[in-house]
Amino acid sequence: MTTLLSRVAGPVRTVSRRAQTLLIATALTVGAGTFTASAEDIKIGVPLSLSGSVAFAGTKMKEAMELAFEEVNSSGYLGANKLVPVWADDRSSQPQGISVTQQLALRDNVSAIVGYTASNICLASLPVAQELKVPTLQSDCVVPGLDAIGNYVYNGVRPYESFVLELVDKLVPAKQIKTAAVIYLRENPVFTRLAPAITKAFEKNGVKVVATEAVTGGGDADFSAQLTAIANTKPDILAILTLGGQVGPVMVQARRAGMEKTLFIGEQSFDSADVRRIAGPNAAGSYYPSHWFADSPLPRNQAYVKAYRAKYNREPDTFATNGYNGVWLIAQIVKKAGSGDRAKILAAMESPGVYDTVFGTEGKTKFENRMLTMTPFFFTIEADGKIARFEGK
């Protein structure tokens, strides 16, 4: 199967893992911190959703984060010192998220935390990290408001709401959209906030919202009743605001319900090989924003994609990349701190600085109000399953 990487960038040349690691490490210029001569194991807590409803994303994050930890340590980026991950499964549960955050901070005495997968778990767990004064970089949660939790909590990704609304502004005139419908996951704070926001964005662009349906999570992937009701309104576009494990089934069932030509719009849950595999040709005509894509020509990104493919024999997606980028960001912060001491790591996070990243068009980023800056890309899934950039035409 032809991948997006081979389609845009041509055949991938074989590069040794050692060469890839050195390319990434030498590209990182942040931090003048120095370590003592004696080697130090710096424990980094890594809470992820490795089981439960959000495991489809958490397990991919863990794979890419394992790769990043290996690269940091084998490259000697921190001198003789090593980042030692302390993995924790929050089981896609808010109470368990709180519990593992407490364990990492108090029992494991980690120097910092990097990770988290689901936005609702971030909302529950990050205030605990703040209260326990553990420098924390969350890597995947996109619900608004996390920047206001406190000075110990930094965000390696941004809320997708503004990205999606910008996509609506581009998509409506380009595709002459007149009517829209929305299906959203009622118990997820990202989607309960995004549903009315995207409705307002459609209406601002002169689009009539003809149906809105809420669904629940869990293992039941039958949305036929809601999609049949939506299909009867014949929308030009359907906003699918659900977790990644539900997006594929929604697409399939929407086509079966009669929405053969309806366009789909969503957020980062669309950017998954699993979604495209489950939906197959039903995903054609889907549009979504992302702060990253595999074919970005940034040398660090290309080295990462090659290393991931070599290790796991498949393409990385946004969830994996969010985790990978988070580890390298915390490595740069620790290098800048020159220590595994929590207070020094916090001071490094708070001080101005530019960081190298696989995100965006320039490969450079910084924190503004504890939120990583980035510029989104827009994509469409074509009839053959390939992904293409959408420029608003």
The domain ranges of the chain are: 4-158+294-374, 161-290
- Summarize the confidence of residues 115-134 as an average pLDDT: 96
The pLDDT, as a whole number, for residue 303 is 95
The pLDDT, as a whole number, for residue 108 is 97
The pLDDT, as a whole number, for residue 16 is 56
Give how far the C-alpha of residue 388 lies from the chain's centroid of Cα atoms, to the nearest Å: 19
CA–CA dist 75, 89 (Å, integer): 28
The predicted-structure confidence for 331-354, as pLDDT tens digits, reads as follows 999 999 999 999 999 999 999 999
CA–CA dist 209, 213 (Å, integer): 11
Answer whether 183's CB lies under 8 Å from 230's CB.
Answer: yes
Architecture per CATH, 161-290: 3-Layer(aba) Sandwich (3.40)
Q: What's the mean pLDDT when you consider all of the chain?
A: 89
Is the model's pLDDT at 18 over the cut of 70?
A: no
**Do the domains spanning 4-158+294-374 and 161-290 agree at the CATH topology level?**
yes
- Summarize the confidence of residues 292-305 as an average pLDDT: 91
CA–CA dist 306, 292 (Å, integer): 15
Phi-psi region of 218 (alpha: psi -120 to 50; beta: other; left: phi over 0): left
Could you tell me which of 88, 93, 122 has the C-alpha nearest to residue 105?
88
By 3-state DSSP, what share of the chain in percent is helix, strand and coil, each rounded to 5? Answer: 45, 20, 35
Pairing state of beta strands 136-138 and 112-115? parallel
Q: Quote the pTM value.
A: 0.78
Residue 34, Cβ density class (10 Å: 0-12 exposed, 13-18 middle, ≥19 buried)? exposed
- Summarize the confidence of residues 217-235 as an average pLDDT: 87
For the beta carbon of residue 173, count every other beta carbon within 10 angstroms. Answer: 12
Tokens representing 340 are 């595994």
CA–CA dist 282, 37 (Å, integer): 58
Of residues 5 and 108, more confidently modeled: 108
- Summarize the confidence of residues 43-57 as an average pLDDT: 95
Could you tell me which of 312, 313, 293, 288 has the C-alpha nearest to residue 238?
288
The pLDDT, as a whole number, for residue 244 is 78
Is the model's pLDDT at 106 over the cut of 90?
A: yes
The pLDDT, as a whole number, for residue 37 is 47
Is the model's pLDDT at 218 over the cut of 80?
A: no
Could you tell me which of 148, 140, 136 has the C-alpha nearest to residue 330?
136
Percent of the chain with pLDDT over 90: 71
The pLDDT, as a whole number, for residue 35 is 55
- Summarize the confidence of residues 139-149 as an average pLDDT: 91
The predicted-structure confidence for 67-105, as pLDDT tens digits, reads as follows 999 999 999 999 999 999 999 999 999 999 999 999 999
Class (C level, CATH) for 4-158+294-374: alpha beta
The pLDDT, as a whole number, for residue 195 is 96
